[in-house]
A and B are shown apart, each in its own frame.
Chain A
Amino acid sequence: MTSGSKGLYLDDLAMRFGGVQVFEHVTFNIPPERITACIGPNGAGKTTLINAVCGVFRAQSGRVFLDGKSLDGIRPHELVRHGIARTFQDVRIFPYLTVLENVLIAMPNQRGEKLRHLFRPGGGVSTQERRHREDAGALLDAVALTDAANRPAGELPFGRQKLLSLVRAVATGARFLLLDEPVAGVEVELVPRVMALVTKLARVEGRAALLVEHNVDVVREVANQVIVLQGGGIIASGSCDQVLRDERVITEYLGRIYDA
């Protein structure tokens, strides 16, 4: 895997916080049209990995390449434009916006966000807004949030806010979605919907997803490749089967053999 290939390529990333080396020598590629999962125990640095890719914290060493181009120096709000969107473990939806508005706001290239279009007759704002509402409605439908569309998002229980933050990230249209524990806290009956949505994103829309997850069952269902982050580095990577049968992974993380 070279820095010239397609995909979101992490090259020898290392992250250190106040004396603790969270991880180092992290190198792998997140290819398009595929679902990559990153598993590992709590505190292994999975969320920190996403933060490092998004430039929230400066990595001590290593770089991130998107389709061969370095992401150095890109400001947080420019990431989506370059094709990367992420979710947060603690959700961070807009509490005083409605559920629908939370999705709408993520739509890219909105004419109505520019004053010069707003105050020009024939600015095309309402047409575009109408179309966006349809798309947003479809997304809400995919995760069973349609009934809550006009409620303030802050009123939703955590699990549904999790779903909202997922479709909000999807709505950005970004080709690479970094999803931090997308099913943690979600109602059990709705987990299949998440898996279906993520699978569709990859297979149908050709987007890529990085799933940071604890839920090994989900990982087994949807992931094309799995990275295991533990003890400050990657201890295994490969297809699901390979990784889940890897001895080191079993002893240090899973504790048992995962059978189909």
Chain B
Amino acid sequence: MNNLQVLAIGLGLAGHYALVAVGFALIFATLRIFHIAHGTVFITAGYVFFLLHRAQGIGLLPSGVFAVAVAALLGLAIDKAVYLPILRRGGGMFSVFIASLGVSLIFEAGFLAYTKGVVSVARTGMLDILTAGSVTVRSLDLAVLAIVAMVYGLLYLWLHRTKVGLEVRGLTDNGPLAAVVGVNVDRTRTHIFLLASALAGVAGVLTAYDMGIGPDTGTRTLFVAVVAVILGGMRNLLLGAIIGSVALGILTAYAGFYFPEWLTFSVFITMILLILVRPQGLFG
């Protein structure tokens, strides 16, 4: 196992984190909601995909699309059923955060009971291996990166070319002010949750296909994504998420190989140090 290989693995992981990270950042930057349940959305998509594709034998694309749709709707439902009622009754960021935690607990419990903790991998069949020098990757890894890049590109277009995207960017810059200047915050909010959750859904499908998922994969991935967002900062959502994800991908890959029993420690010490030293991120 050489460092270049670890790097390659890290980049692969980064791809998985990036979609979750950018969605999380989108929601936090615009609505100030610490959406822990984003991990739940991520993992639900994974399980739905697994159920359809692996258990029911439905084709790859329809399963994936359906799973992403479920994720999008789930994220929106969480906001409408849990977050908005809290906010309307005078609750603040903390209350929403705790409720989000509650949502993730419920779903995690459900998945735990259902799967008894076994990791589910949606992929069937063998993979092509490609080698370049001392680095070995699977064709799947490249496919994942390609998909992530494509989705990212679409996201960029959406943020910069559509009316709603413009409104979202307005919210990022100055939340309360955007509401004054005629931005329909409610509709934009819906768009934000749908989109961010869909992104998480794509990530969930990819992860379920590639690495497999367990009941706690959602929260674990979410926290890595959170650290990635803190690191990359939220001044530029897309760039920050990419940079943070690459950094965390490399960190987790490196830790996974050289000191796996300190992996969790490393991620969270990084988080705490970042919060203490530079909470706005490297580029915030």
Report if A and B touch in the complex (beta carbons < 8 A).
no
Q: Interface of B with A (CB < 8 Å)?
A: none
